Structure 1
Amino acid sequence: MNLYQAIRDALGTALASNPKAFVFGEDVQTGVFRCTTGLVDEFGKKRVFNTPLTEQGIAGFGIGLASVGASAIAEIQFGDYIFPAFDQLVNEAAKQRYASGGAYPLPGGSLTIRAPVGSVGHGGLYHSQSPEGFFLGAAGLKVIIPRSPIQAKGLLLAAIRDPNPVLVFEPKILYRAAVEEVPTDDYTLPIGQPDVVREGADLIVVSYGTPLHICHALKPPNPAPSIQLIDLRTISPMPFGALTEAVKKTGRMVVVHEAGKSGGVGNDLAGEVGRRAFEYLEAPIGLVSGWE
């Protein structure tokens, strides 16, 4: 499967395994990126339905649906348009479980927000953003970014079954570019744990989403250092403990992401790991990012 097919498979699995699961968004009955194509034919318009053009309304409706014990799986058609829903997500969704002392959502209830992010080569300024950094300060809100079809299916199903609200940002350029054999059965991958893509002893490169593939494909200099490549997978909560232990072994780390430097994952990660592993570092933590 490619990435969008793996997401479609995960959504089908979630709907088939839970009669209280619902998929909704502005054009999910058609599927702009084909991630939801055919679901309405399989599960009907009461469980897969289009919404009005209101991101704030989509998020608010999802919060209410999750609160009464349903599994709400919402799509924001482009991550660039998630900002009208920002208040609902950071002031309501992120706080509800803690503010209620664990009473909400009701058992079985969950809120998952999917959105395609990142550049695709021809998207323009309103269809190419990487908005993940804006949500790092929203305690109680989990944020995951998959790099491949296997990761996408396993992390999405884990998000759908997590009682905490989860944002799943999908790199749109990978929808058809990333292809691998994906298990067709029901499975999940752990949220909050990084994945070691390649072992190494001299330097750690940490990335997520599209740039991870670029890092993996780069030809190292000669003589080549031993480079460990780590996929964050989850950017909130950030796996600081695992990354700190990893950098203690190499003394060097570089963070790579498509978003700009300011207010993003790289500076947040470098600052905290730098504090925790200061005496082990042989050089400042590097950051390679997109332009501001």
Structure 2
Amino acid sequence: MTAASPPIRVLSRYLLRPQAPFHFHSRCQHLARSQRNSSAVAGARLNNSVEYDSTPILHHTSRTALQNPELPEDVRKGQTKRINLYTAVNDALRHALQTDERTLVFGEDVQFGGVFRCTMNLASDFGTERVFNTPLSEQGLVGFAIGAASEGMRPVAEIQFADYVFPAFDQIVNEASKYRYRSGTTGVHCGGLVIRMPTGVVGHGALYHSQSPEVLFSHTPGLRVVIPRSPTQAKGLLLSAIRTNDPVIFMEPKVLYRAAVEQVPVSPYYLPLDKAEVLKQGKDITIVSYGTPLYTCSAAIAAAEKDFGCSVELIDLRTIYPWDRATVLESVKKTGRAIVVHESMMNAGVGAEVAATIQEKAFLRLEAPVKRVTGWATHTGLIYEKFIIPDVTRVYDAIKQTLDY
């Protein structure tokens, strides 16, 4: 007799519970001591936990939240509330369901709130004809979503983890992405289709709950691939994704669902899907990133600017396909140096595309080679996650090496 699968609530509690501090194996301790892994000053401690309560990446007051120039004037005059990222996703879905009867929300266990609780209470408030569970078939639920979108609905399909999207890969890259192109001037398309999925490492995801497959979709014309960094971004970008007439892959960094908390405008608003955002101005070096690694970059920048007296510009791509080349190139032509940081593997990653574009369009303005700080090209073993993804020390070292070139 096969063992029964654990209830969804048990799985959710396991994935989201606080984890014990990570301890190096004795062999790893020896290797760490024998290698010069950081050029920081002696005694420096760079790889501390991210201070989400004080990071400049998040809006900690209503005043700073409402100063965002991308918000419409009526929203900037309104109120904010302090929420985390999964609640911001819930807010966006709730507004879409309230304002457009064509909106549908479905996926595996979404009727009960989903693993990360992003769809909590939506089924009870809007009925199970519009918010409902699907069979455990990613290919099936995405195929259904494409059909619903082609009939004029606005389906938001949830893949429980980005790691589970691969059975639906053919539906996405062979059907959803080509629908408008093959329809010519008939006006038929599957715009309004949004496929949401939690992505990236969470500290203890191991082989099948830690992957970052965004680059697999960024090779496909006809799709938009969006990765928000914060609750404010998640709400505004998701509402824009539901409204656009392009199929959107919307990837939510799972570690940020509860960790990232900030003041978010109460009123609905729409953020651009085709524009990167300069989070911090600088004149000596440009760092380009997206999603969770932006917090790592911010901490590394604070340490590097203090130690080296440099000025670092930080850019959030937000949409990694099609990405905002103009904003990145303008920054690099000003600073003359560039680093790209992301969790996913280096080989054929987003960083490779950004670096190639920079050398092609801004080569004569570069003072150093474009550097990439990324995840290693390996599968994510359970106890090795912290070795694989970029940390503050690696970004700090990249800044120093690029400045010293």
State the TM-score, normalized to the length of structure 2.
Answer: 0.70
Q: Which residue of 1 aligns with 2:189?
A: 105
Unaligned runs of 5+ in 1: none
SS at match of 2:367: coil
Paired residues of 1:134 and 1:263 also in contact (CA < 8 A): no
1:28, distance to aligned residue in structure 2 (A): 0.3
Correspondence list, 1:133-282, <5 A: 133-218=215-300, 219-220=303-304, 221-282=306-367
Q: Which residue of 1 aligns with 2:168?
A: 85
Question: 1:63 and 1:137 mapped to 2: Cα distance?
Answer: 19
Say which of 363, 369, 374 aligns to 1:284: 369
Unaligned runs of 5+ in 2: 1-82, 378-405
Q: What letter is aligned with 2:320?
A: I
1:49, distance to aligned residue in structure 2 (A): 0.4
For residues 29-81 of structure 1, give each alpha carbon's deviation from its aligned partner in whole angstroms, at most 9, with x where no partner exists.
11210000110011000000000011111111111000011001000000001
Instruction: Provide runs of 4+ in structure 1 moved above 6 Å.
Output: none
1:240, distance to aligned residue in structure 2 (A): 1.4
1:236, distance to aligned residue in structure 2 (A): 0.3
1:245, distance to aligned residue in structure 2 (A): 1.6
Higher helix share: 2
1:101, distance to aligned residue in structure 2 (A): 2.0
1:130, distance to aligned residue in structure 2 (A): 0.3
1:241, distance to aligned residue in structure 2 (A): 2.0
With 266-275 and 38-47 compared, the bigger mean Cα shift is at 266-275
1:105, distance to aligned residue in structure 2 (A): 2.6
Q: Which residue of 2 aligns with 1:29?
A: 111
SS at match of 1:180: strand
For residues 100-125 of structure 1, give each alpha carbon's deviation from its aligned partner in whole angstroms, at most 9, with x where no partner exists.
1252237xx51000000000011110
Paired residues of 1:146 and 1:208 also in contact (CA < 8 A): yes
For residues 1-34 of structure 1, give each alpha carbon's deviation from its aligned partner in whole angstroms, at most 9, with x where no partner exists.
1000000000001100101100000110112100
Larger of the two Rg values belongs to structure: 2
State the TM-score, normalized to the length of structure 1.
Answer: 0.97
2:198 equivalent to 1:116? yes
Say which of 133, 136, 140 aligns to 1:53: 136
For residues 240-277 of structure 1, give each alpha carbon's deviation from its aligned partner in whole angstroms, at most 9, with x where no partner exists.
12211211111101000011101210011101121011
Q: What letter is aligned with 2:325?
A: F
Q: What letter is aligned with 1:269?
A: V
